[in-house]
Amino acid sequence: MKKFSAFSILKEGLTGNKGWKPHWKSVEPKEEYEVIIIGGGGHGLATAYYLAKNHNITNVAVLERNWIGSGNTGRNTTIVRSNYLLNESSKLYEHSLKLWEGLSKDLNYNVMFSQRGVLNLAHSLQEIRDSKRRVFANKLNNIDAEWLDSNEVKKYCDILNISKSSRYPVLGATLQKRAGTARHDAVAWGFARAACNYGVDICENCEVTGFNIKNNKIESINTSKGSIKTKKIGVVVAGHGSVLAQMAGFRLPLETHTLQALVSEPIKPILDCVIMSNAVHVYVSQSDKGELVIGAGIDSINSYQQKGNFSVISGQMGSLVELFPVFSKLKMLRTWGGIVDISPDASPIIGKTPIEGIFFNGGWGTGGFKATPGSGWVFAHTIANNQPHELVEPFSLNRFYKGKLIDEHGAAAVAH
Amino acid sequence: MLIINCPYCGERDESEFHYGGEAGITRPGHPDKLSDKEWGNYLFMRKNTKGLFSELWFHSAGCRKWFIVDRDTVTNEIVSIKEISKKI
Ligand SMILES: Cc1cc2nc3c(=O)[nH]c(=O)nc-3n(C[C@H](O)[C@H](O)[C@H](O)COP(=O)(O)OP(=O)(O)OC[C@H]3O[C@@H](n4cnc5c(N)ncnc54)[C@H](O)[C@@H]3O)c2cc1C
Ligand SMILES: [Zn+2]
């Protein structure tokens, strides 16, 4: 693999850019692997990378039914933050945020991680209390967090409307300065390239269609490219978790919904932070291309369609224009949807399954992009050691039978 | 936007309705007699079908009655709509 550097860019620039090679190779699957990862999104690719890098396990395949990054990884609005309320979640997401901070260097691939700051707005007295509580909780967990009153919010983002006559006035916000955005495609490609460099096979257009299980142990899987033997499988398929679990014969508490997003026409730089509001349900940032990247909540019905309801978009546009009157004349360029796996407590499910050798990582719902490196790290550890990483012990499937839910919903600003 | 044919009111926009999720989940008669596994299954585990799915809908801005819709979760096609019988 060719190492990227300022020197290689200069050299290629002077010699007609003819020396660049594909960043990774998509190959046909072999007959057998030590570990098979199902799902070539960011989480699956990161898992393969850390299996190789941290645990020396390189006889690994990542099987992706479409092309890598074609799922939620390439469809999300890329907000990365770690200001969750509960200890279990904040530890997990902060571990991931720390990895983001060194990721471009570690992968030798620019994932364009931009720590531009994320503001979570508060619009009512109760929200002020909840937000301050979250700031205190974050500080106790050594996560950077600040409370800003409405004038300080205005100073941080001067195009935001803080008028008292708004239907839901901005009364303040929490700020995490280390939070921000990253380039989603680059995350998939960077992990793929780095994993490939360790000898991991990346097999695209390879759909898993069934499991062969004997005495409650996995022996092989069926795919659109034939059957493959293995003793260990990591299932990391986002919205398709329940489909794979049904093939393997166990149950999950997940529901699959469409989550939509949209971008505006590109404009000159106007917004240099991320603004999120749970109460009026919209969030927005500006991409490097100049488009506003806008999102909100899920469509209410169960759906495996990467296409949603227009009423959800019109609702969030109303909120956007109230918060930013300056955007009212902007044209929207395109909309899309991804299918997200919503868990009952808005927390992921990671660890062993009732089938020996099958490990599960899912339920990240609307907010897993931020966890990509951390999720791969802890999942690789879990698969390699047959034992959950200490950060994910509380996130086992078993918590739904023990009543030990990690109820982030509503408690923190867990929209994304 | 789905057009839903309420068995009581006829065709209306989806925005008049409220979604109720998987149909046919009955609350166990004696929760105190269940194991943690059985109770967890009832509370949390879901079919989450990809394909034809039986689900509950509530006509919240209309007749305020619940009914059952069989819908394909991949194509959004509504295959049948029926009233809730006493036993589902
Ligand atoms: C519109 C939108 C906005 C979002 N915004 C944010 C945000 O701002 N911040 C944030 O943190 N998170 C956000 N998310 C959530 C985030 O995108 C996901 O949690 C995260 O990307 C999940 O990564 P993944 O690798 O698990 O899933 P994916 O990238 O979806 O990868 C799973 C892969 O599995 C493959 N697969 C499925 N079934 C099979 C099979 N049978 N065989 C082989 N392969 C299979 C799929 O094709 C897919 O490529 C957003 C999501 C959406 C849809
Ligand atoms: Zn009706």
Q: In terms of DSSP H, where are the helices of A27-157?
A: 42-55, 87-101, 103-107, 125-140, 150-156
With beta carbons under 8 A apart, name residues in chain B contacting A240: 50
Supply the pLDDT for residue A415: 58
Examine residue B15 and state whether it is found in any structural domain, yes or no.
Answer: yes
Supply the pLDDT for residue A408: 86
Cα-Cα-Cα-Cα dihedral sign, residues A20, A21, A22, A24: negative
Residue A47 pLDDT exceeds 70: yes
Q: What is the pLDDT of residues A64-117, one digit of tens each?
A: 999 999 999 999 999 999 999 999 999 999 999 999 999 999 999 999 999 999
Examine residue B62 and state whether it is found in any structural domain, yes or no.
Answer: yes
Ligand 1 atom with the smallest distance to the CA of A362 is 26
Q: What is the pLDDT of residues A128-158, one digit of tens each?
A: 999 999 999 999 999 999 999 999 999 999 9
Examine residue B32 and state whether it is found in any structural domain, yes or no.
Answer: no
Q: Which residue of A has its CA nearest to B19?
A: A301
Supply the pLDDT for residue B1: 82
**Looking at the DSSP assignment, which residues form a beta bridge with residue A47?**
none
Examine residue B11 and state whether it is found in any structural domain, yes or no.
Answer: yes
State the average pLDDT over residues A189-207.
98
Mutate to test the interface with B, among A237, A400, A409 (most CBs of B within 10 A): A400
A171 CA → ligand 1 middle, Å? 34
Residue A410 pLDDT exceeds 60: no
Give residue B86's domain range: 1-25+50-88
Mean pLDDT for all residues in chain B: 95
Calpha distance A281→A399 (Å, rounded): 29
DSSP assignment, residue A294? E
Examine residue B19 and state whether it is found in any structural domain, yes or no.
Answer: yes
Q: How many domains does chain B have?
A: 1
Closest of B59, B47, B57 to residue B16, by C-alpha: B59
Examine residue B10 and state whether it is found in any structural domain, yes or no.
Answer: yes
Supply the pLDDT for residue B86: 62
CATH number at residue B87: 3.30.2270.10
Supply the pLDDT for residue A413: 44
Q: In this complex, do A309 and B14 lie within 8 Å of one another by their Cβ atoms? A: yes
Q: In this complex, do B44 and A304 lie within 8 Å of one another by their Cβ atoms? A: no
How does DSSP assign chain B, residue by residue? --EEEETTTEEEEGGG-EEEEES--PPPS-GGGS-HHHHHHHHH-B---SSEEEEEEE-TTTT--EEEEEEETTT--EEEEEEPPS--
Output the CA angle A33-A36-A37, nearest 5 degrees. Answer: 155
State the average pLDDT over residues A14-36.
94
Examine residue B34 and state whether it is found in any structural domain, yes or no.
Answer: no
Examine residue B45 and state whether it is found in any structural domain, yes or no.
Answer: no
Nearest protein CA to atom 53 of ligand 1, as residue:
A338
Q: Is the CB–ligand 1 distance for residue A295 below 6 Å?
A: yes
Q: What is the pLDDT of residues A7-20, one digit of tens each?
A: 999 999 999 999 88
State the average pLDDT over residues A120-132.
95
How does DSSP assign A336-365, residue by residue? EEEEEEE-TTS--EEEE-SSBTEEEEE--T
Strand, coil or helix: what is A42? helix
Q: How confident is the model at residue B87 (pLDDT cuts 50, 70, 90)?
A: low
